[in-house]
Structures are given as C-alpha cells and as structure tokens.
Amino acid sequence: MEVQTDTWFMIINPVAGKGRAPKIWEQLSTYLSAANIDFQFAQTQAPGHARQLAHKALASGGRKLMVIGGDGTANEVVNGIFHSGVDPQEVVLGMLSTGTGNDWVKTIGSHGRLDTIPRNLRTCDCVAYDAGKLVYTKDGKTHERYFLNITGLGFDGAVTRNLESGAGWLHNTRFRYWGALLQMLFKYRHTEVTYEIDGESFTYPTLSVAAGIGKYNGGGMKQLPFADYNDGKLDLSIITNMSKLKMIISLPKLQSGSFVRMKQVRTFQAKSIHMHSDMPLYVEADGEFLGEAPVHIGIIPDALRILRWK
C-alpha cells in the first residue's frame, strides 16, 4: 500500500448501521471522482481491522483519514493513529457516521448532503480535539485504549458487555441497546467504588459512571452535558445510590442532561481519574466493551485534528 500525503484514505465498515455504509459509499465515491478528489479506500473485514488499516495508511505516507462507519470504527482508527508512530497532530480525521448510536457526531457535528462532502475535503477545515487515554484490566492483564467520546463504567459497562455477548433483549433489532439497558436494570447491583480524582479520594455506592470528552453516549443520552472537546479536561458524572425505579423514571432527564441536577449525581472535571472496586466493575469506551477496573483515565489536550463539516 502506498498513500500520498494529500490523498484521503477512506476506511469503510460495511456492517455499520446494518449495511448502510456501502450504500452511502457508492454514492459518495461518484461525487468524489466527479470533483477530482484524490482518494483510496478499504473495507474492514473483522473487528480490529480498522485500526490495522489506519496504521498501514499512515505508515505508507497518508495523513488524511475518513471513517465511514460508527463510533466503534472511529475508536479503532484513533487507536491506529496513536500506535502508528506518526505525530497524531499531523493527521486529519474525518467522520461520516453510518452507525447505530452515532453519539460522537452529536458533539462534533454531522456531515450534510453527500454532494457537499468534496468541498469539505478540499478546504480541510479542522478543529483541535482532545483525546482520552484509558488503562484497564482484562484477563488479569493491563491494557490501554485511546478514546474520542466517553468511557462508561458500572451499569454502562455491563450493558455494553451484554450487547457484545448477544444476550440482550431485542438484540437483532434497532432497539437492542434499550433492550439490553432494561434487562440490566433488573440484574445490576450498586457497587462500592473508590475514586481518585486529581489526587483527591472519594468512595461512593455507584450505579453508573461516565467520563470523557463528548456529551452523548448510549444512543443519544446526554451523560456529560458540560463537556467541551478541547478544554484539556475530562468531564465525569457519577450516578450514586439511585434506585432502579428512580432511574427508569429519570430516563428523560438522562437524555436531556438535566439528570446532573439530581441529588444522587456527582459531577467533576479533572485531568486524571482512577477507579477501583472489590466487585467487578465493567468498562466500555466509545460503545465497545473492553474489560474491568481498576482503571486510570487521562486526557491528552489538542491531540487530534478533526475535520469540521460545513
């Protein structure tokens, strides 16, 4: 593979959004060719392949990457960037969201009509964007993962784990997240979690935790309403000892972001967050189940250049 610096390398997840990506790519490639945009493309073939494709494109000289897929595909590409040996600030990353949750673009903005995309690629107007770095545990070993949007622990992590296993209610439908969420509401138990937030220690009975850079996760729930993607800080919201009934009743507040005003919720801003628990505390990032606590979450200010859609 050889990719020129000014060539847009398109990474397409053909199964994102139940097969929407290839249909969109068929239309978009026609517009790109008509506008004389220099591009190459590849389709992912398995989980983790997007990371490999990004790594190869950068190693061969490319510096402009476009994700055509969902949040999970974007997360893989970002990890490919950080593990490529190339300075991430040399890379432009664009996102044409075709997934099911599409939470990240609710923060950075979605593309418009497909026929306007060539103009955006040519002008290449970018914004500086922070990245998160997560250190977690899986099978007794320590791993690291970079993320763009939100990492969730506790209830969020358990829901994502349930989804990955295919065990959630309605898992073959577009309502699969809500099916898994409702199923876990009946199963999940509060966990005593110890937090170290910029050096200060706290312990809370915890239902759910969200930490990150973007505002939305879980298919449109505004879990970090005050997050700013380039302020150099992680936002953190902790839902403490809220009853299951209260959580069900409060779902509209979770979607609007107003849940942070409830007495069972704690919010913080920080540059370093550490969490551990004596009970299993599952963790996900950008909608992908990863492992469990103990975890450490850090922030890398202005780490990426993200294409701005106009």
Q: Where residue 119 falls among pLDDT bands split at 50, 70, 90?
A: very high
pLDDT at 118 over 80: yes
pLDDT tens across 189-210, in order?
889 999 999 999 999 999 999 9
Could you give the angle at the alpha carbon of 310 between the alpha carbons of 83 and 128, nearest 5°? 35
Read off the pTM: 0.92
pLDDT at 170 over 60: no
pLDDT at 108 over 60: yes
258, two tokens: 């107003």
- C-alpha gyration radius of the chain: 19
CATH superfamily of 8-124: Probable inorganic polyphosphate/atp-NAD kinase; domain 1 (3.40.50.10330)
Q: Topology of domain 132-300, per CATH?
A: Tumour Suppressor Smad4 (2.60.200)
Which residue ranges make up each domain of the chain?
Answer: 8-124, 132-300
pLDDT tens across 50-73, in order?
999 999 999 999 999 999 999 999
pLDDT at 79 over 90: yes
Q: Where residue 178 falls among pLDDT bands split at 50, 70, 90?
A: low
d(CA 155, CA 182): 11
Calculated CA dihedral for residues 229, 64, 37, 96, nearest 10 degrees: -40
In degrees rounded to 5, what are phi and psi of residue 284?
-130, 160
Range list of H helices, 151-262: 155-165, 176-187, 244-249, 251-256
239, two tokens: 């839902």
